[in-house]
Structure 1
Amino acid sequence: MSDNLHHDEVTGVDTTGHDWDGIKELNNPLPRWWLWCFYITIVWGILYTIAYPAWPLVQGATAGVLGFSTRAEVAVDIAAVEAQNAEVSAQLASADLSTLAVTDPAHQYGVAGGAAVFRANCSQCHGSGAAGVQAAGYPNLLDDAWLWGGSLEAIEYTVRHGIRNEQDFDARWSEMPAYEEVFTAEEIAATAEYVLSLSGSDHDAAAAAVGMEIFAGECSSCHGDAGMGDPELGAPNLTDAIWLYGGSRDKIIETITYSRFGVMPAWGQRLSEAEIKAVTLYVHQLGGGE
């Protein structure tokens, strides 16, 4: 390859040898100011990795000679905020929520703090807006249908001890039997028709008449003779249009056949007393609390 192929006669500068549709790139040297900036950034990067946490190790990372830690700074900030709120937090922790006035600073602090507790610990199941996820059996906390009661006392107990978990001896506990091996498919279908009739949904009247007798013998002990449920047992009201797992004919048949067994963790072992009462106040004031 001759020198003419790598030399631009107009500018007198060598080219890189690259050719894009007849367009060639001049091989001009980089400006010295740019090179010095580049070298300085290399030196700065090396010094930074020495001074601050940088290089990953098997456990953690190099600490850096300055001992700087963003985690430590955040911990200091959190401690400062907690110190500022210590008095009102202690008042909330010792308060009787049923008599705590909405104008009380502890109540206002609790609702605001409870929103943060809810977003950090409860929104994963109940949703960021607390509307629940029906397909997965996570209840909507905005309506007035409460399996275990929606009073402040009931909500606090549920938050503290959870539902059907094995971590807290005082967890709320009830279990609907699976009727797969108890009823025939026809009996399950008839019971489903009766359950549909309780909420005023479209149903087969003849099948519902058969299902009513089955319901009276097997289901009324928990759901009540009129199907209105029992908060003491966590038995849902079947006469409204609110369904935790869906109220279609197929979903009701599925529930009767295989049962449901939702679990909620006990937050009393994870949250402070003030946090439990704060999230109780927050959930209660969302609109569905009794």
Structure 2
Amino acid sequence: MTKLNENDKKIGTTGHSWDGIEELNNPMPRWWLYTFYLCIVWGIGYTIAYPAWPLVSAATSGMLGYSTRGEVVEQIAEVDAANAAINTRLASVDLGEIITDPELESYATSSGKAVFNTFCVQCHGREGGLGAAGYPVLSDDDWLWGGDIENIHLTVAHGIRNEDDDDARYSEMPAFGEILEPEEIEQVVNFVMSLSETPQDASLVDAGAVIYEDNCSACHGEQGLGDRDQGAPNLADAIWLYGGDVDTLRETVTYSRYGVMPPWSNRLSEAEIRAVSAYVHQLGGGE
């Protein structure tokens, strides 16, 4: 054990000893202690003045009544008030005027992008709505229900195949696994593949054409070009919502697909719906 030197002896020890190791009695500097005590007093004062302690359903409100949520609400109200005139105009003009009026189009696409990034990217993805399996790409010119701004607005407002809006777009593909034999499904799948790419088994295409004509052409058209009035996709352009490989097409024909989009008219204002419709329209595929 190191012996205490003369300076250590002057300081003295606390009387604590561990295996012969003693603790010098070196108190903290007074300036540090005063700063520490001041921080304690300030912390107590802060918890009294501002929201701080969590309770069962909320936190203590504080004597000053300050609220970060309230501050955000005030800021949103200020922005809404500043944009009230142009939002009223956006909500009332003919939809076609939005994309022909430079001021309205600029405002609509800017605010529409914010709406899209808040409510739409979860399904349609960022980077201009590049979509995913089961979620349409919004930046190409392949539209199930039409890509002019009126049709985009209708789709956004009322959604697709949901039970919440009586005006939702609606179509339903039958599950042909309950109608056709497995070999007939293989035939029609190969015919559908032949419309846009090489079929897996070319020998089944002719038989598949007959199956297609009897069961599929009423919705998808004789040439497989689809029907936007029914939301029936174009089968001849090699653009697939769920995938165009033989296994995915077989699953689609056998079990059908039933994608659902919620209506936004009960969550967004008319100005916001028009803004996001204008934003989607100008992504590159709007008609």
Q: TM-score, normalised to structure 2's length?
A: 0.92
How many percent identity over aligned positions? 55
Q: What is aligned with 1:40?
A: 38
CA contact (8 A) 1:88 1:105 kept: no
2:108 alignment partner AA: G
Q: What is aligned with 2:252?
A: 255
Change (3 A) 1:154 1:8: farther
Task: State the shift of 1:132 in Å.
Answer: 4.0
Q: What is aligned with 1:71?
A: 69
Q: What is aligned with 1:105?
A: 103
CA contact (8 A) 1:190 1:207 kept: yes
SS of structure 2 residue aligned to 1:43:
helix
Q: What is aligned with 1:207?
A: 204
The answer on 1:9 being equivalent to 2:5 is: yes
- 1:211-250 → structure 2 map (5 Å cutoff): 211-250=208-247
C-alpha separation between the residues in 1 aligned to 2:150 and 2:161?
A: 19
Task: State the shift of 1:174 in Å.
Answer: 0.3
C-alpha separation between the residues in 2 aligned to 1:261 and 1:113?
A: 31
Task: State the shift of 1:210 in Å.
Answer: 1.2
Q: What is aligned with 1:114?
A: 112
Query: Among 168, 178, 191, which residue is 1:181 paired with?
Result: 178
Task: State the shift of 1:9 in Å.
Answer: 2.9
- 1:135-150 → structure 2 map (5 Å cutoff): 135=133, 137-150=134-147
1:45 alignment partner AA: G
CA contact (8 A) 1:92 1:107 kept: no
CA contact (8 A) 2:175 2:253 kept: yes
C-alpha separation between the residues in 2 aligned to 1:176 and 1:230?
A: 13
C-alpha separation between the residues in 2 aligned to 1:188 and 1:243?
A: 18
C-alpha separation between the residues in 2 aligned to 1:25 and 1:225?
A: 95
Task: State the shift of 1:84 in Å.
Answer: 1.3
Give 4+ residue runs of structure 1 displaced > 6 Å after superposition.
15-19, 23-27
Q: What is aligned with 2:160?
A: 163
Q: What is aligned with 2:266?
A: 269
Q: What is aligned with 2:124?
A: 126
C-alpha separation between the residues in 2 aligned to 1:177 and 1:156?
A: 27
Cα deviation 1:212-248 (Å, max 9, x = unaligned) = 1111100111000110100000000000121000111
Change (3 A) 1:150 1:27: farther
Long gaps (5+) in structure 2: none
CA contact (8 A) 2:145 2:229 kept: yes
Task: State the shift of 1:27 in Å.
Answer: 6.2
SS of structure 1 residue aligned to 2:127:
coil
CA contact (8 A) 1:117 1:279 kept: yes
